[in-house]
Amino acid sequence: MSTRADIKEDIPIVLVHLGSKLPRYLRDNLKYLKSFGRPIYLITDNKNVEKRFTNTGVRTYFYEQTLQEFAAIELNTTHNLRFRDGFWAKAIIRLMALESFMKHSNSTPFIHLESDIWISPNFPFKLLQSQNEKISFPIESVGHGIPSVVHIPSVKSIENLVNFVRGSIAEDSSATDMSILYNYAVQFPQEVNILKTIPMLGDFSRSGYPNKLASQITCKLEDEGIFDASSIGMYFTGEDPRNNKGRRQLFIEKTDSFLNLKSSSLSFKGNRLLISKNGIETEVYNLHIHSKDIRVFKLSFFRLLVRLRYYQSKKGPRRQITYHVVTRRSTSLKLSILRNLRKLFLVNQKT
């Protein structure tokens, strides 16, 4: 167990998992991230999860305030906090956990990745480390800042954000981590470095976003790479099949996204992942694997998958059945039916 991050080497990568069940995609991602040879931390609020990573090369930090923060959010939210083990609340609490970790880590800068974020073998760690004292993250669309990749350079940077988070959840019952990050970037531009998400060339830009954001989210140089907030990963690897009755939807654009992905494709050149359109190639530093497709976290297999997606994308949108999700849904349905039948039987017995 690590309660203090004694970090002196390269900038560490920090993930957060609040809850008991450790998903397969997170376990596989942690194995993949270890290949980068950098300190890897998992923030957890579960002792069993913490013990699981003893002597694995993944360091842990135990966060103790989940229940307290959950109760505060529960007082003023319109979101269903039973959804996926408190997903909406824990997405926000994750930011408080990052603040706690920073304060116990000698104020060491770090990069936070969401658990389903794949990073390229050519990921620009030095680029993020060279940023100023502003906190960095991408914006997907109006109202949606995405903590897919977050560079946290100092205690002050995360303290300022968390103070804004607390004010937001007290004032707005519909607030989410995404709306809060977007509003923070817009209201306090001096505190935020918005990561580039749109290539300079190739007709990737979709009209409709505020002019003030245009220069911040669009690359200035032809050879400048981009970060994926969520749309690229969702387009090429699919949306979470749990949202679509076990079906993984591919090559479907998010119409509210700033990024226009129509007629685009992915390919590898060495260790660089490239997105192409109209003959223009741009490097992509990460992908948001919203589908939780664990094959992505095995690089040799992912290279083959990217080639397959190249040909599939030419045929337009498609849906794939993910049998493990369908089976799980079927099992849950059967258990629900059995529980209801048992209740009905007991009621009949009493009458």
Using alpha carbons only, give the angle 36, 294, 93 rounded to the nearest 5 degrees: 75
| Residue 66 contacts residue 93 (beta carbons within 8 Å) | yes
Counting residues of the chain whose pLDDT is more than 90, the rounded percentage is: 63
For residue 113, count CB atoms less than 10 angstroms from its CB and return exposed for 0-12, middle for 13-18, buried for 19 or more: buried
Which has more pLDDT, 84 or 289?
289
Residue 330 has pLDDT above 60, yes or no: no
pLDDT of residue 132: 78
Residue 336 has pLDDT above 60, yes or no: no
What does pTM read for this prediction?
A: 0.86
Using pLDDT thresholds of 50, 70 and 90, give the confidence band for residue 221: confident
Q: What is the mean pLDDT of residues 251-279?
A: 93
pLDDT of residue 317: 84
pLDDT of residue 324: 46
The two structure tokens encoding residue 316 = 């337009």
Residue 227 has pLDDT above 90, yes or no: yes
Average pLDDT along the chain: 87
Please tell me whether residue 25 adopts helix, strand or coil conformation. helix
Q: Could you read off the pLDDT of 155-199 as tens digits, one per residue?
A: 999 999 999 999 999 998 889 999 999 999 999 999 999 999 999
Q: Which backbone phi and psi does 344 adopt, to 5 degrees?
A: -60, -40
Of 61-70, 81-90, 187-196, the poorest mean pLDDT is in: 81-90
CA distance 298 to 29: 9
Task: For residue 348, count other CB atoms closer than 10 A to its CB.
Answer: 8
CA 246 to chain centre: 20
| Residue 88 contacts residue 79 (beta carbons within 8 Å) | yes
Which has more pLDDT, 28 or 54?
28
Q: What is the mean pLDDT of residues 203-212?
A: 76
Using pLDDT thresholds of 50, 70 and 90, give the confidence band for residue 333: very low
Residue 225 has pLDDT above 70, yes or no: yes
Using pLDDT thresholds of 50, 70 and 90, give the confidence band for residue 5: very low
Sorted by where each starts, the structural domains of the chain and their CATH numbers stand as: 13-195 (3.90.550.10), 196-346 (no CATH)
